[in-house]
Structure 1
Amino acid sequence: MPKEQYRETDVARKISHMSFGVESAESMQQQSHIHVVAKNLYNQDVQRTPIPYGVLDKRLGTNSKESPCQTCGNNINSCVGHFGYIDLELPVFHVGYFRSIISILQTICKNCACVLLSEEDKNLYRIRLSNDNLSYMTKKAIRKKIIDKCKKLNKCPYCKKSNGFVKKMTASKGSTGGSVLKIVWEKNRGKDKECVAKENMDKFSAAIEANPEIQNALSASTITQILTPIDVLKLFERIPQSDILLLAMDSRKSQPKDLIFTRMLVPPVSIRPSVVSDLKAGTNEDDLTMRQSEIIFINDVIKKHKLSGASVNMYQEGWDFLQLQTALYINSELSGVPLAMMPKKPGRGLIQRLKGKQGRFRGNLSGKRVDFSSRTVISPDPNLEIDQVGVPLHIAKILTFPERVIHANIDVMRQLVINGPDKWPGANYVQQKGSAFKKFLKYGNREKLAQELKLGDLVERHLHNNDVVLFNRQPSLHKLSIMAHRAKIHHHRTFRFNECVCNPYNADFDGDEMNLHLPQTEEAKAEALILMGNKNNLVTPRNGELLIAATQDFLTGGYLLTKKDTFLDLAHASQLAATLLAENDTQMQIDLPTPCILKVSTLKANLEAKGKAYTKNRELCVKDSYVLIRNSELLAGTLDKSHLGSGGKGSNIFYVILRDFGQDYAIKSMWRLAKLTSNYLMNTGFSIGIGDVTPSESLLRRKNKLLSDGYAKCDEYIRQMADGRLQCQPGCTPEETLEAVILKELSVIREHAGQACLAELHPTNSPLIMALSGSKGSFINISQMIACVGQQALNGKRVPDGFENRSLPHFQHHSKTPEAKGFVENSFYTGLTPTEFFFHTMGGREGLVDTAVKTAETGYMQRRLVKLGMLEI
């Protein structure tokens, strides 16, 4: 009777714990079904049937739909696969445990196999290591102390033999270069060097008499012995059971002798499938299959050498190859493999299947490809509510939700079944109660299926409006990178959402793509809506500030609409108010108040806050930058990013509404603002032209005056340094002091040019409006366009010398003037000179490289932190 790997029972069981140990040769044989001995893969017949007792034997499982497994009789979907085993002709080192083997050899006597500690020390460490609740790091630290103590002892306290030193053999010491995974024992190392040399001389006495030169060689060099896997295995088998605990090993789960390979498992066929080749006759075999086939072949070669009495060199060569192939089977990226022994083509070992981006953990467990997901380009839509996402009809007909037929929905479900897969809203499949199969609705009589629909049947219906979906943008760096939205089906080809939600996703619309997932149970939908719902995550968990709020156009529109000199007649006010009539607000009553201030809510919100450009006298501020809201009426002030945008708290309108009235009102007011302001901007018009960045005559005069004054000061500093009159700053050389004072002077030039520029601009200037409202850009951007680009910095300093004693060949040697060291006096309007343009590109390149490096570093750091968090859980 074949072994059963798992038998289902009706008894519910709870897993108490998991423990990991080293697989023993006996355990390998117990869990295996066959002993694999045949090196060939297939019989020489037309069907290419796998050879019995080979690595593709049909008793190891099946990877074909046609033939069932010969062990359990199940097909490809039900058979989990079965193990086999290969007996190695000679023991070899396990590449994964190689360091552990060396550390154990450094701990034990190479004669009697006892741990090199006194009984008193042994008892002390046994007590400490016998604690089951000891953490891994503590156990590791104790083990290191034991190794360090044992390394200091050259003579065994029990058999009094000298122990020397054990280490990995380096490639240079191997005579043939075949030194992969070899251990060398330096016998005459340490205090007992003379004793060991004398013993060695006694052994070689007969040889010395015949050839006296051997004596000099023996006394001069270090006496070494290569410890073969057989030597190590014999030593490990003799380690007393009481000493195993001192090796930080649990004798119930693993034994030191199990670290040496004498038998290896053959994994099931299902994890190393054979792929039938379309181009040529035959199959493409997995790397693991080929490696194990080679191991069996080398096994046979060693067996023949044993029987034929081959030379020691041939025997050793076969052993080396067996060692290499077993190591490459586990880790195919093994370093230090001699060229003569390198495999012809690189394969993937077991380690390569687990590690890295495409490995099991990162590629198949932490992140994987899933069903019921879709991906396409994203677009903005200010008409959508904050918690909605526009889903293309094409996607809505493919993504399905399995809805159970009940009394309340049977008529609706019948209509969906009749509509079928091609008409939305419809359904793709029906699974009748008690049936294991689904019926595809594209074919067959849908009317008949609809009539036969019973309570308890499952209908895989299309995605509907207001279905809960998960929306995600990569890289997902915080929990707000994936949130739940309500679906809104439309006839276009992109996902659409309100721009207020760009911030948490870090999304823009220059070609970004996003993922949408449809939860498949009512519980999942409820969890997604409550825990990940867009409206439940308006504030960031980092510091409680708003992350979803008005942005860009809405800020500009809100700023312009709330200016004191913005007047709307009844027609325009009514037109704007009409844009709010949508979705649940379609029947909303809007009363236009007597003053020209729109009352957008029946809630009475109050707010008093200073704006970015506030001067004095509260609501009588000359810049109109003191916002005063009483009972939801804006009495004074111009709204900007601090009142409408993300990141604010006390002075933010939406934060006040969220705090006082809840998330539903917050997102509704946000949505109304988005519709209102974007519509106002569409009708009013808002654009930038060359006229917005053209400097006036007075501005040019002020800029030239600033430049001439600044350059004169810089020239004076340069003369002072040349004459030795420049007073050095604390801890700085004269050159460093000169750089510091010139940099300070040049930054003052740009700052003052920017201030002059802002003073000259008219309040209707578009870039100025965007900077003041906080929707986009800054005052520095405006001053660079109109007045002066300023100093280009590389690594926080002025441009260094790229040629001999000068930055570019266009300047004189040792020139320290502003223009020779990267100061750009022109604006983008006037245009940069060739040298200025070159300096500007240098600064830009540094910014790009810096961004790329930071992205890679922060991504790697985040992955390590997530990994640590997963380990803690």
Structure 2
Amino acid sequence: MDFITGTYLLTHKDSFFPRLEVHRFAAAIIDSSSKKQQRIRIPPPAILKPVELWTGKQLVELIIRPDVDSKISLNLTTKNKSYTGNEEFCVKDSYVIIRNSVLLCGVLDKALLGSGSKTNIFYILLRDFGEDAAVDAMWRLGRMAPVFLSNRGFSIGIGDVRPSKTLLKEKSDLLSNGYKICDDYIESLKEGRLKAQPGCTEYETLEALILKELSAIRDHAGQACLRNLSRHNAPLTMAVCGSKGSFINISQMIACVGQQAISGHRPPDGFEDRSLPHFERRQKTPAAKGFVENSFYSGLTPTEFFFHTMGGREGLVDTAVKTAETGYMQRRLVKCLEDLCVNYDGTVRSSVGDVIEFTFGEDGLDPALMEAKDGGVVDFKHILEHTRNTLPHLIEDANITINELQKVVADTISEIIGKRHAMFREQLESFINEYLKRTNKYYKLPKNCTKHMDNWMPSATHCNDCKNQKFFRETEIRSHCLSRAQAVAFIKLCLRKFRRAICEPGTAVGAVAATSIGEPSTQMTLKTFHFAGVASMNITQGVPRIKEIINGVKLISTPLITAALTNEKDEKLARRVKARIEKTTLGEICDYIEEVYLPDDCFILLKINAKRVRLLQLEITMSSIAQSICTSKLPVPVKISQITILGKTIMTIRPPELAKCSKMMAIQYLKYNIGNVVVKGLPGIVRCVIHADEKKGDSYKLLVEGIDYREVMATLGVDGRRTYFNNALTVADVLGIEAARSSIISEILSTMASHGIGLDQRHVMLLADLMTYRGEVLGITRNGLVKMKESVLLLASFEKTADHLFEAAFFSQEDKICGVSECIILG
């Protein structure tokens, strides 16, 4: 934490140091325990007069490459999280450019020093220059940053979180306006004027609207807080550089703690229709439902403190339970995947020789050596920058046309790569062609074109400043054009990195995949989250969702079918398709269901609400309703001859003659069960919601809660080719095992991404292949392990040890002792 904060402050624009300070920093990074000679070259000062001064950015070169003769040449261009959108003139100096190990602009924060991302300086040093270069740079940073901080000083006090009068006034205005809007929502509900959101009741709509408004209050209060803070504020400095805390922590300390949530909702009523005994019954105001308007600086009221402890307790329980859940899950993953490794023929096999993958990750590349952020093997843009910086462009090389350069590129690729690695060759050629297309105008024209252009081009004698034009031309060449030597060096470097990334035979890809999936799951929560845009639709996320996927659960907690429409822009079509899918019962469209007793007859009389049927756009008639009643499984079976249709909305149903019960009992059975008859839609569908995709404009799709995947795909108006279900076992039954494999991969990756966790898909693909390689979806459980593995010692080392050993002894089973667990057990 101190290292990141110190380096961030060191590289600020206003950090200048005299010669004495620079020599002190240089002395600090000398390893006194090392016996070999160490050379440190201090760069020339940035300011010469009146006093020689060095910038903090110049000292970064001493961390990366203290000796100018060193072969370490780090090149990096990236953006910090405070990036404002303008590369050359970023106000917050958050556009970082490092050229040949020299920091030209930008400040170093957590993203470049300690985040574990692809833009981390130490990761690039480890990848391109070896372990020693990365370790030495870390050691020098760990020496220089504390020396700088100890001289400068960095502390936090109560004054750093004291709100100003301007901030208090802004906060008061925000709270009064927000409370007024919430009160208007509550009055609208009481008066029946609140329009329900799709798939929600009026109460759920009210909760969603109030929660959205209160979240906006906290966000706006936090923004006002950040605007009023000095850039030298210690908590703000730590949040900006990423060493500790966040902007939300600062706003809670200074401005407003905000809404307390329990399982994603406002605190529920637990004391006879109220959240706490301090409030009136059935009160929905922000204060009565867990909104904390005070800050930690001003102090919380007793009721605010109680609400805050509710939210804190949930976090503590979540952490405690999550540790045990994720630990057991990772143990199961390791036990199932531990013996998978890459063979000399490129396949991934188990210890007994079963082929799990014909090529690891479909490309045979090691995920640890992927350079691009999207999981690609080579970051072409970064390598091109590195090549052009380490191999300068000479102006004498500018006599090359675009066609000549394209020929050089094609010849080099054919000579070095040939016909091997077709996918990589295609990516490389595509990048080079795209780059040359963008920079086409900077290259020299062929000679036969230039002589025809002399007639209309202005003469050099008429130019105001020919020297300036020549200078700009040379700058353009150096900035955009590629020379022959640079193009060849770029292609060779890309190929060298690609060959290095190929997975070596014997690599334990199974164990690496298990830890790569299990470790990030410890950062996730055990909560259920709202679906984006639909307040009432909860979907299981976090650790419970990962458990469902890898366990191969048949009945998941929140089955969700995402149904694409044949015409995504037609809202009326979406409503009609929704009516065809969503289960509609007879009781939902009836005005009344009554018993009628006459002297010589008795029957059930029901009246259909025609207005409601039209409003719901149900494609039903009285005849279809009668048919639904006859085909439904009622306690008392009804035949079509017992149903009489009277007009367009009225129907009578006479009870059958049954030996087991009288007509009176039969009528009672019918009355209490007839309302549950499904007259339209699919019986296995709980609810269907129209979801408008704001990113694509007026684009609609259906979110269906239920398990009737095959029936939804076959519904008129649904595009079955783009309809997706989040249950892998059902997908395997309907579409086959390959579709189930794809479903497992996409579900794990999307669950991880929803928590901000990046995971290389090659690891997930290996897990999905292991779960499906037998032709059925096998869970990573004790039952699934029995179907995957045959080794008695492996199964005994996992669970039910005595049972497996007894069964093996009784049936005289043999164990080939070729897996990891078996070899460890027997030494």
- TM-score of the superposed pair, with normalisation by structure 2: 0.38
- TM-score of the superposed pair, with normalisation by structure 1: 0.36
Structure with the greater alpha carbon radius of gyration: 1
Higher helix share: 2
